[in-house]
Amino acid sequence: MTQEYDSADLSMIFAKVCERLIDAAPHLNELDAQLGDGDLGTTLRAVATALQGELCNMPLPISDFMEKISQIIAGVSGSSFSAIMMAGVNRVAAETNGQNTLLSTQISDLIRLAMESMMGAGGANLGDKTVLDGLNGIADAIDRETDHTKLASAADEALSRIMKDFKSKPCKIGRARLAGDRSIGLDDPGMTALKHMIEAINGSHDSGSDFTGGVDAH
């Protein structure tokens, strides 16, 4: 069955995501510092904080809603992860022109289109151990799930499985590629950030065995 999400529904989802990203910032920084420059958590916290302040005031149609998110990212951060997020969000905006609601059945296609733009902007491919591998698994899992109430849990389960698979593989792009075999055994920070977001939507808490931030505070 198809579910429609309006601007209020989406704002509620993003509110949960923002809250979680702010709590997860130290965890993401620490993870990123092992392979990159250690600012992924700070970056996402800045984006989440700025977005929180605007969520009561998001425009329609969905394309404008998404464009506003892109503008918020554009205003606060210039990191590669932000630029890739913007590329994805801009694509979703372009593909939802004129829609006042988002259909649950659209989500997997939108994720795949967003991934295409993200690959174009960042130059990563599937298998490089980036957030794209996580998104790809989510899109597949959502495709198979016919019950819209189970979309978030299906995405969460798929992502857990993918992160487990990739943990033993090396990163193949960005500064982390220089770490080579040192990246084996570590979760990709981008995928972990995605896991936090999906868990926030699903209401679960298990991103990474060492993650404790924020859980007890609620």
Partner 1 sequence: MKKIINDPKNYVDESLEGLVLAYPSEFECIGANKRVVVRPDSKASGKVGLATGGGFGHLPLFAGYVGEGLLDSCAVGDVFAGPSANDVTEAIEAADFGSGVLSIIGNYGGDRMVFNMVKDALESKGVRNQLVIVADDVASAPPLEHSKRRGVAGLTFAFKIAGAAAERGRTLDDVAAITERAMNNCRSIGVALSSCTIPQAGKPTFEIDDESIEMGMGIHGEQGVWRGGLKSADDLADEMLDRVLEDNPIASGERIALLCNSLGATPIDELFIFYRRLAQRLSSAGVDIALPMIGHYTTSMEMAGITVSVMTLDDELESLMREPAACPFWRNL
Instruction: Identify which of 39, 19, 18 has the alpha carbon closest to the alpha carbon of residue 28.
Output: 39
CB 21 within 8 A of CB 196: yes
Decide if residue 126 touches partner 1 (CB under 8 A).
no
Q: Output helix, strand, coil percentages for the chain, rounded to the nearest 5.
A: 70, 0, 30
CA-CA distance, 43 to 29, in Å (whole number)? 9
Q: Token pair of 142, please?
A: 């959502």
Asked if 63 is part of the footprint of partner 1 (rule: CB under 8 A), the reply reads no
Q: Kindly give the pairing relationship between strand 102-103 and strand 4-5.
A: antiparallel
Kindly report the length of the chain. 218
Least distance from partner 1 to the Cβ atom of residue 105, Å? 30
The answer to whether 139 and 112 are in contact (CB under 8 A) is yes
- Min CB(18)–partner 1 separation in Å: 18
Nearer to partner 1, 62 or 85 (CB): 85
**How many other C-beta atoms can be found within 10 angstroms of the C-beta atom of residue 174?**
20
By CB under 8 A, tell whether 175 contacts partner 1.
yes
Q: Does 49 bind partner 1 (CB under 8 A)?
A: no
Work out how close the CB of 115 gets to partner 1 at its nearest, in angstroms, rounded to a whole number: 15
Q: Which of these ranges, 17-25, 101-109, 172-180, 194-202, lies near partner 1 under the rule CB under 8 A?
A: 172-180
Candidate list 5, 17, 31, 43; residue touching partner 1; CB under 8 A: 43
CA 66, 72, 73, 78 dihedral sign is: positive
Q: Nearest approach, Cβ of 108 to partner 1 (angstroms)?
A: 25
Residue 42 or 52 having the CB closest to partner 1? 42
Of positions 21, 106, 122, 137, contacts partner 1 by CB under 8 A: 122
Give the one residue of 134, 137, 174, 213 binding partner 1; rule: CB under 8 A. 174
State the residues that interact with partner 1 by CB under 8 A: 37-39, 42-43, 71, 73-84, 86-87, 121-122, 174-175, 178-179
